[in-house]
Amino acid sequence: MDIRAFARFDPNVLAKPLQNGVSRRAFLKAGAAAGGGLLLSFTLDCEEGDAAVGAFAPNAFIRIDRGGAVALVMPQVEMGQGTYTSMPMLIAEELDVELSQVRLEHAPPNDKLYGNPILGSSQTTGGSTSVRAFWEPLRRAGAVGRNLLIAAAAQTWGVETNACNAEKGEVIHVPTGRRLSYTNLVDVAATLPVPEKVTLKDPKDFKLIGTSVKRLDAPEKVNGTAQYGIDVRIPGMKVAAVAACPVFGGKLESVDDSKAKTVKGVVQIVHLEDAVAVVADHMAAAKKGLAALDIKWNEGQNAAVGTTDIIAQLDAASKNPGVVARKDGDVEKAMAGATKKVEAIYQVPFLAHAAMEPMNCTVHVRNDGCDVWVGTQVATRAQRAAAEVTGLPLEKVQVHNHLLGGGFGRRLDIDGVTRAVQIAKQVSVAVKVIWSREEDIQHDLYRPYYYDRLAAGLDEQGMPVAWTDRVTASSILARWLPVAFKNGFDRDAVEGAVRPPYTLPNIQVEYVRQEPPGIPTAFWRGVGPTHNIFVVESFIDELAAAANKDPVDYRRALLDNSPRAKAVLELAAEKSGWGQKLPPGSGRGISVQFVFGSYMSQVAEVAVAKDGGVRVQRVVCAVDCGMVVNPDTVKAQIEGGIIFGITAALYGQITLKNGRVEQSNFDNYQMLRINEAPVVEVHLIKSTEAPGGIGEPGTAAVSPAVANAIFAATGKRIRKLPINPSELRSV
Amino acid sequence: MSYRVKVNGMDHVVDVDGDAPLLWVLRDVLGLTGTKFGCGMALCGACTVHIDGQPARSCITPIESVGSAAITTIEAIGDTPTGKKIQDAWLDLEVVQCGYCQSGQIMTASALLASNPQPDDTAIDDAMGGNICRCGTYSRIRAAIKQAAQPDTRRGG
């Protein structure tokens, strides 16, 4: 999500970039502005008992104990995006330790210590922000540690600090070649004052950053030992299967659980206001027990809701003026003077996240406290949710975070934690609640249905002189972060639409809020841009067609003020063989974007069969995401993000009928599979600019490239996702 | 009812109903959590194990159907030559992202390679098409299978 979205509601949210060599006073002040990302006090970490006494913990991210273990505490969670490799790289680079020396720990919930400076200083992993947010604070954390260890060595030897260097976990006295391991220095280092100045390395001296270091989490993920939330095993623990009212907002009326209680292994049936859970020794019994329940629901006021009604409501709302997100020039005058006017309505559907690890959470509620084991993108929100349900004070709730079997925004919400704690409150032992895939899909919080009206006026040369875009949808921010939702305006909903990279002298972008009845909506990989880039990049393609110009030439002519965007456009076009002939029924389409702080252009090559079936054969991506921490991670994120985006473009849609989600599992909520996956080529542009985000741009850029390629292949414009093959049929 | 099952070379006796899916016996009764739950309907492949060397979706395999067959899970697949090759290729080409589906991917790929030492793209599509990866690691999965299928040149092939 856009940094600005969160900076506006609180001017202190954004950390001012820290300059190298700032004084300690400035450092502390700046650190506080960044949400206290650095703990500069020296504390002996005694939480783990005697073994940790004497540990050197210069800040919240580093602990080196006498035994030689270097523990790095990860402020951001690992959900596949490689942050458990990139974050340690940032610390290790400046601390001068080898990655093979470090052990990673999940951070406990603590906004003060681990807050993400881009996301309101809350401990949140999302919005492709990890490297952008922690690029400076984690390097600084490492540099503080290194300086103290060097000072400790210098004091031990009785030499000047500037005669010493650090390398691979050792301090070296350069003139004599003497060496001391960090582990021999921790006791002295822990007594020294915080350095007045820390200097970060010049990027040209980076040893780790910029290299394709192997993922630290890969070995345990190929041998089955990786621990996701769903893998937690607590002594004496039970498991639970759950069924929530299939209609949003409905309640449990009655349940006959007599048969379920006779199922071998079932130990308890838990009745909640809007759900039933079966607690058992193992999940086979819990599921069997759940299936044996005779449940009557009071479906409530949303029992008749259907997608058709929701779309009709969005259409009606979209005819009203919205909150103005951007207004440059005089759109009305420019439109009136235009030679040609192009208008279009674009629609994208509700989407479920369908992370491979279904929603789950393990909870042990006791009189004096509560433990929560879960994989979450929002550890402090999870802690607050458990405190709220149990009535316990916050500090009595321990959240043990885990690897995430996919996040994609789903685990930015804590409904799964709330549900598990509700159940665990009625169970005397720890209980692991696992949702079935059907529950996971039918009780998701969905990517909003967006309904967008666009219009453009073209001059005699066919170039845009006026551009209007009115986005109509529910507001995620109003629910998820109400403080960021002001005056009816949701910045996330229009991100990617407000500032296209093109020179558009007269532009007006509006947002109309229209909430679907009962349907909760949430962030989904690529957030605002995933829908807006599809719309903007499809519409600019429409304008190129209306002007009878080549889509690449048309865009290039509008990118004089955005050289980095122009560079990725040209590189993607060149590498894709833009302009070269393709067989009949095939076509190439292009997109270009600047979102999440990264520039990206993609060219998709598709083949449309006579029956209308679409096959994406190849995607060429050019990216300029500034300085790169791990090039292979960047490539992997783009490769995967593209698959995620194609899945949505070809298959993704959640529909409702009689208040119920119609999709339930991977047979009717389809995922792209290996036999449908295109060849993906990623070309990185070397850059010394600040790092940009990379987890989501690939997803946002691909659907318009595919839709534009279909237009090139068939002459049919895709204005509604998912792509409907019956509309592309040529026989 | 009690069932005797042989998992990763060890015999276990489990006291569950006969219709209990092997997946939950492995995960909840025997504590082998490397095998993952994804869909419960054999649609995603996350729960793939080997039964007498053949890939099987453990989420729809009732324990009573297993009999005396030898079950191999991700925890032990590295002890087989093809399993080890697949795991090494997975690490070499950095296949994993979130990693949740990878136990199933590796089990399916190991079975493929054991039965077809030189799989072409079609064979890979046929074998791996039942395994979903939401992170979209498909191109690397394909490349890793091909790499694992290479004769080991270091030992002279």
pLDDT tens digits along A525-554: 999 999 999 999 999 999 999 999 999 999
CA distance to partner chain A, nearest, from residue B101 (Å): 7
Compute how many other C-beta atoms are within 10 angstroms of the C-beta atom of residue A583. Answer: 8
CB contact under 8 A, A666 and B39: yes
In this prediction the ipTM stands at 0.97
* Overall average pLDDT of the A253-277 stretch: 98
Does residue A403 belong to the interface with chain B, where contact is any CB pair within 8 Å?
yes
Range(s) within chain B of domains with CATH label 1.10.150.120: 78-150
Nearest CA in chain B to A220: B99
* Overall average pLDDT of the A316-334 stretch: 98
Which of the 8 DSSP states describes residue A696?
S
pLDDT digits (tens, 9 = 90+) for A377-387: 999 999 999 99
In chain A, the domains with their CATH numbers are 3-213 (3.30.365.10), 229-300+359-434 (3.30.365.10), 308-350+446-727 (3.30.365.10)
Nearest CA in chain A to B88: A222
pLDDT recorded at residue A68? 73
pLDDT digits (tens, 9 = 90+) for A578-603: 999 999 999 999 999 999 999 999 99
Fold of B78-150: DNA polymerase; domain 1 (1.10.150)
Residues 6+ apart with CB under 8 A from A466: A331, A334, A335, A338, A455, A456, A457, A506, A507
Flag whether pLDDT at A17 surpasses 60. no
Structure tokens given for A613: 């079936």
pLDDT digits (tens, 9 = 90+) for A109-144: 999 999 999 998 999 999 999 999 999 999 999 999
pLDDT recorded at residue B151? 80
pLDDT recorded at residue A11? 25
Flag whether pLDDT at A7 surpasses 70. no
Interface of B with A in 29-88 (CB under 8 A): 29, 31-41, 43-44, 46, 73-75, 78, 87
Mean pLDDT over each residue of chain A, to the nearest integer: 92
pLDDT recorded at residue A394? 97
pLDDT digits (tens, 9 = 90+) for B82-93: 999 999 999 999
CB contact under 8 A, B99 and A239: no
Helices H / strands E in chain A, number of each = 21, 27
Residues 6+ apart with CB under 8 A from A402: A106, A227, A228, A229, A231, A232, A373, A374, A375
pLDDT recorded at residue A650? 98
Range(s) within chain B of domains with CATH label 3.10.20.30: 2-76
pLDDT recorded at residue A197? 82
Locate tokens 């003060």: which residue?
A112
- Among 1.20.1630.10, 3.40.190.10, 3.10.20.30, 3.40.30.10, what is the CATH number of B2-76? 3.10.20.30
pLDDT recorded at residue A731? 80
Does residue A615 belong to the interface with chain B, where contact is any CB pair within 8 Å?
no
Report the alpha-carbon distance of residue A179 to residue A188 in Å, rounded: 15
CB contact under 8 A, A285 and B20: yes
pLDDT recorded at residue A51? 34
Residue A197 C-alpha from the chain's centroid: 34
pLDDT grade for A410, boundaries at 50, 70 and 90: very high
